[in-house]
A and B are shown apart, each in its own frame.
Chain A
Amino acid sequence: MSKNNTVSGRKGREPITDTKLLLTITICVFFGMYVLAMLIWGGGFLKPQQFINLFNDNAYLIILSCGLTIVMISGGIDISVGGVTALVTMCCVVFLNSSGGSILGSLCIALGIGLAFGLVQGFLVAYLDVQPFIVTLAGMFFARGMTTIVNKEPATVTMEAFKALKDMRIEISWLGAQSKGGWIPARIELGAIIALVVVLAVFVILRWTRLGRNIYAVGGNNQSALMLGINVKRTKFYAHLFCGLLAGIAGYTFLLHIGAANPAGDANMAEMKAIASSIIGGTLLTGGVGNIIGTLFGTLTLETIRNIVVTSGLKEPWWQSITYGAMLCFFILLQSVVLARRGKGGLALPKWLNFGKKKSDDSAT
């Protein structure tokens, strides 16, 4: 983003950066969709609990997307995060159900597994110069295979202390709603709090720390970052390490939400959902452009679509992913067009899309 700022400063023509523009679009689409859903279907969408549930149910996805956004900004990709989540969940369940199980121990296991994946993958990508796609693909295979090696059957946590932790809710009575059983206060799960803290922490790291700025610089242009004296290899390594750590946290959050592990469960496809969230939030796979707030709204947008499809009565199971795909397609095309209008995508636009644009026309064509 630093790159964009300097560009806009020199030209003096672009009051808003790419990142901010894409972010604004995502946020507008999200709120627009939500308000539309409120107006058309009302019911559940009017209850604050429905909005809070977006965070409760997708806390792990938000955390995963944050990690992925960091790696994508640094110019890499990590498709192992879903597998790591599944592995962490399974290991923690097995550990908690064993005789020596403890909550602190399981937390250590979760963070340890995440860090180990981040460490190995980061080392291979940064210092051995292997393509990140292949490394993390192997990571995904390994995590998925290990999950079934650890335990083949779906398992549920039976430990009482963990169950108590899992059922812990923060209740806000004034946000509640009237239902048949009386006044039900809004409930926020522990996972949602963790997710918000992670988003905040990553936001601060990316925006105000040296490491965060380095990640943007490395993703924007590898060579110039090197010439500016940034340790490119170390930055890439840290990006992957962060992503691994966040995948570990996401696994634990997932366990806090459902309290069970399943080798073929919800954590499948999580990496693709996380990538989709990041893209919708305005992160570019080429690196250097992205914003963590956008990623948060990307995840929320995806889940709101799911809610809308379920509410609107499209019962056939294929509608959900078809709307997912259509949404993804829309945002991807939007990004491409937005960047092209700014003369960065190299895409020659038809005349009608170039309205009110004079300068970057020349550079685009």
Chain B
Amino acid sequence: MSKVKTVMQKNSQLIIPLIALLAIVLFNVIRCVVIGNFSFFEIRLTENTNILSGNVINILKDASELAILAMGMTLVTSASRGQDISVGASAAIAGSVFVKILLANPANWGVIIIAILASCVVAMICGAFNGILVSIFKIQPMIATLILYTVGRSIAYWINGGATPTIAKDHPVLYLGGFFPGNPIPTPIFIVIICAIIFVLVLKFTNLGLYTQAVGINEKAAHLNGINPIKMKLLTFIILGVCVALAGVIRVSRLALINHETILLGVEMDAILAVAIGGNSLGGGKFKLSGSIIGAYVIEALTNTLYAMKVASTDVKAYKAIVIILIVVMGSPVVKKHTSRLWSKLFKKKEIPATAGASSSKGGM
């Protein structure tokens, strides 16, 4: 019993994103029952091409870039108490470099790997630029990244030479955004899983997570304890840079072209939202990586549900906003206090130990 309680307490941050995800699934089930058609949850194996398709697969696939960015954004948020709003623009730069190298060389895997590494380096430089402004010059992250946000897409435009280059249809790099031959599961899903495993291993076996949180909670105290806050902040921004490059590469290889204006447009807002929905404070400090990843899938599931309801793609934002407000209000400290008070009142009538649980959930959340 106590073990269950500690697990609950440890993961109480995940309650909000999980409830949100569950609510969306439930909503879809009800919708399917009402219209009497369960095709939303169907997963088909297409006959001739032998690939999986269906809405659930689409959600998993489409959320890949967002999930990768959300992981990096969580670290940045935790350490620097602010968010990077330049990820979309940086991804455009990284993607442009990636495409430029691909098109200038013969199509083989060696070139692709070099191109990925090059785009990683470029995105890391972008990250380091932001990181230096934030850590050394002590500028608020949102303001510091505003510079790259304004400039990034223009630099991508300049790299592309004012065009939108396309990748040939038979180029092997398209496997990264689509399917490897003979493999029915979309490749981006694997990339996300690999990323998540690397992140979890790094957080488990190094001090990265602990130090990041320490810097985020109290920079001065962390400094007095021998942690270098400047180094930690810079490091988180550079890690986000790698995530940005990966997201850019996935998106480019999925669309087979780079359009500096539209690639990953507005993804920074979604990534920040994923972090917030994941129950992480945008004011820095403690974080839960799994929360952010679930948050990314919540956003994508929501978008996909709206598309399935025949909402026009330009109108989706309005409905998304309403759901965001609902989730955020649900997670706001004032509402939480009132609900936990209500909770304890309701349970006091039946049994006494329930109050302890209620108060602990209040503290934990």
Contacts and interface: CB of A to CB of B under 8 A. Distances in A.
B143 A332 contact: yes
A142 B272 CA distance: 17
Interface string A323-336: 01110110011011
B136 interface: yes
A249 B167 CA distance: 46
A145 B314 contact: yes
A152 interface: yes
Contact of A134 (B155, B282, B316, B322): B282
Interface stretch (A9-17, A19-27, A95-103, A271-279): A271-279
Contacts of B283: 131
Interface in A296-340: 316-322, 324-326, 328-329, 332-333, 335-336, 340
Contacts of B314: 145, 148, 152, 263
Interface string B328-344: 11001111000000000
Interface in B314-365: 314-322, 324-325, 328-329, 332-335
Nearest to A120: B325
Nearest to A269: B150
Nearest to B329: A128
Contact of B137 (A129, A131, A135, A336): A336
A76 to B, nearest CB: 12
Nearest to A137: B269
A114 B71 CA distance: 35
B318 A329 contact: no
B146 A275 contact: yes
Contact of A321 (B139, B150, B315): B150
A328 B146 contact: yes
B282 A133 contact: yes
A141 interface: yes
A236 interface: no
A44 to B, nearest CB: 24
Interface residues of A, number: 49
Interface residues of B, number: 46
B7 interface: no
A288 B272 CA distance: 25
A62 B320 CA distance: 30
Contacts of B273: 134, 137
Interface in A116-148: 124, 127-131, 133-135, 137-142, 144-146, 148
Contact of B133 (A149, A272, A332): A332
Contacts of B83: 133
A308 to B, nearest CB: 17
Contact of B151 (A124, A316, A317, A322): A322
Contacts of B148: 325
The B interface, classified by DSSP as helix, strand, loop or mixed, is helix
A145 B324 contact: no
B155 A318 contact: yes
B339 to A, nearest CB: 13
Given A142-B318, A318-B157, A321-B153, A137 B146 contact: no
B142 interface: yes
B325 A135 contact: yes
Contacts of A360: none
Given A127-B334, A322-B154, A141 B272 contact: no
Nearest to B269: A137
Given A133-B83, A138-B328, A149 B318 contact: yes
B141 to A, nearest CB: 9
A252 B343 CA distance: 47
Nearest to A121: B325
A346 interface: yes
A124 B329 contact: yes
Interface string B233-276: 00000000000000000000000000000000000010011001
Contact of A279 (B143, B316, B324): B143
B41 to A, nearest CB: 26
A336 B138 contact: yes
B312 to A, nearest CB: 7
B272 A137 contact: yes
Contact of B142 (A77, A140, A335, A347): A77
Of A138, A142, A322, chain B has the most CB atoms within 10 Å of the CB of: A138
B137 A138 contact: no
A241 interface: no
Given A332-B144, A336-B137, A324 B328 contact: no
A135 B332 CA distance: 11
Given A129-B333, A129-B334, A316 B321 contact: no
A205 B213 CA distance: 41
Of B83, B321, B334, B335, chain A has the most CB atoms within 10 Å of the CB of: B321
Contacts of B318: 141-142, 144-146, 149
B147 interface: yes
B272 A133 contact: yes
A285 interface: yes
Contacts of A139: 321
Nearest to A345: B138
Contacts of A320: 154
A247 to B, nearest CB: 16
A270 B276 CA distance: 24
B172 interface: no
A131 B143 contact: no
B137 A347 contact: yes
Given A129-B333, A133-B142, A137-B273, 17 more contacts: A129-B332, A130-B332, A138-B324, A138-B328, A141-B320, A142-B321, A142-B322, A145-B318, A152-B314, A263-B314, A275-B143, A275-B146, A279-B143, A279-B146, A322-B151, A328-B150, A333-B137
Interface of A: 77, 124, 127-131, 133-135, 137-142, 144-146, 148-149, 152, 263, 272, 275-276, 279, 285-286, 316-322, 324-326, 328-329, 332-333, 335-336, 340, 345-347
Interface of B: 83, 133, 136-140, 142-144, 146-151, 153-155, 157-158, 162, 269, 272-273, 276, 282-283, 312, 314-322, 324-325, 328-329, 332-335
18 contacts: A128-B335, A129-B333, A130-B332, A131-B282, A133-B83, A142-B321, A276-B146, A285-B143, A317-B154, A318-B154, A318-B155, A322-B158, A328-B147, A328-B150, A332-B139, A332-B144, A332-B147, A336-B139
Closest 10 CB pairs of A and B: A145-B318, A325-B151, A142-B321, A145-B317, A318-B154, A141-B321, A148-B314, A141-B317, A321-B154, A138-B324
